[in-house]
Amino acid sequence: MDGGGSGSFAEVMKGMEWTIDNQIKYNIRAASMSLGGVWLVELTQEQEERITHLANEMVAAGISLMIAAGNSGGYGTIGTPGAAKDVITVGSTEDSKELAVYSSKGPTHEGQIKPNVAAIGSAVMSVEANSGNGYASYSGTSMATPMVAGMAALLLQANPDLQPLMVRSILESTAEYRFLSHPVRPNNDYGWGFVLMDAALDEAIQYDASLSINLSADTSVIYYEGNETDGGNDTASRFFVHENQNLEFITGGNISNIEWRDVVIEDIWHTVDSIDKIDVMQTQLGPGNHTIWVRAVSSEGISAPLTVPLNIGDAIASKSEDTPGFSLVFVVFSLVLVTVSRSRRA
């Protein structure tokens, strides 16, 4: 980017490639991109695919990448590179936590729910370019995004073992549940909700990379393509279980028990006296659609939460097929680093 904040497609690509190439040298753990999919010249499909691929490559290289959702306001307006699957796409709110009218919403062209989270981005005081020591008030998802990047840096400072997908998981699972059009979480307005720094920091400190939890293939399920009951997400899936069934898990590490909580409602973590199953009846979740988080717990810490979308009762999907089991795999990576680099505003 130049001094005015503008840059060509080629220059943006070079910057992303440089970040990947120098990740280890400078211990780059977090990055912020306030592009929001707005380009002076419309990108070709090849260019969009290339920049999306590079964004996901940055995450794969160990960099938590925050990208502005954009300021187009309507549904389905989050484009490249905010639509990249593995990045943390950030929407903007007012100081009241109400979603800003300009904040772009999902879904993406591929049907993914975006943004991932939202943060304050309206009337934010920031340094004013070429003013010496002046400040000015700005609004946009480009102001909310570096806020979340700063939060990610603090999480990494608190626990250097965190990998990018774990950072994203913490920010999402501790966010304050909010919605506009669809009372589900995640949704295409706020994503998982409004980010909460204190709650995220508490989770980050407890995360133990040696603990893992996966849904076992022994859990009898029906897999189907989602519909309007899943918040307008065409790519959603749910696991159908009967009220007398158990959710079976495979756990790793020195686990003492597992915990679960409802994703959508304001809920607390419920302790289960088991390390490998949850009795659906004992959850007191009624028939119908639910999404829960499940995590492994030890005396030393907690695992990353596993998201389990399920339907309790008879299968209701119009298009479904029986499968002997579906293994939902969540892999926890460990990487020990000493410091977190500071990002400079371009």
Q: What is residue 85's three-state secondary structure?
A: coil
Measured CA to CA, the distance from residue 343 to residue 123 in angstroms comes to: 22
Query: Do residues 160 and 53 make contact, with C-beta atoms less than 8 angstroms apart?
Result: no
Take residue 5 and report the two structure tokens written for it: 């904040």
Indicate the average pLDDT of the chain: 83
Look at residues 28, 291, 63 and name the one whose alpha carbon lies nearest to residue 165.
63
pLDDT digits (tens, 9 = 90+) for 308-331: 888 888 544 443 333 333 333 322
pLDDT confidence tier of residue 244, bands split at 50, 70 and 90: confident
pLDDT confidence tier of residue 255, bands split at 50, 70 and 90: very high
Q: Is the peptide bond before 107 cis (omega within 30 degrees of 0)?
A: yes
Cα angle vertex 178, ends 79, 262, to 5°? 110
Domains of the chain from N-terminus onward:
9-206 (3.40.50.200), 212-323 (2.60.40)
pLDDT of 29 above 90: yes
Q: Looking at per-residue confidence, does 240 or 108 come out higher?
A: 108
**Chain CA centroid to CA 12, Å:** 23
Q: Which amino acid is at 247?
A: L
- pTM summary value: 0.80
pLDDT confidence tier of residue 238, bands split at 50, 70 and 90: confident
Query: Do residues 255 and 277 make contact, with C-beta atoms less than 8 angstroms apart?
Result: no
Show Cβ contacts of residue 132 under 8 Å, excluding neighbours closer than 6 positions.
none
> How far apart, in Å, do the first and last CA atoms of the chain sit?
6
The beta strand positions in the chain, using DSSP E, are 30-33, 64-68, 88-93, 117-120, 124-127, 135-138, 212-215, 221-224, 239-241, 246-252, 257-262, 270-272, 277-279, 288-297, 306-312, 320-323
Confidence at residue 10, expressed as pLDDT on a 0 to 100 scale: 84
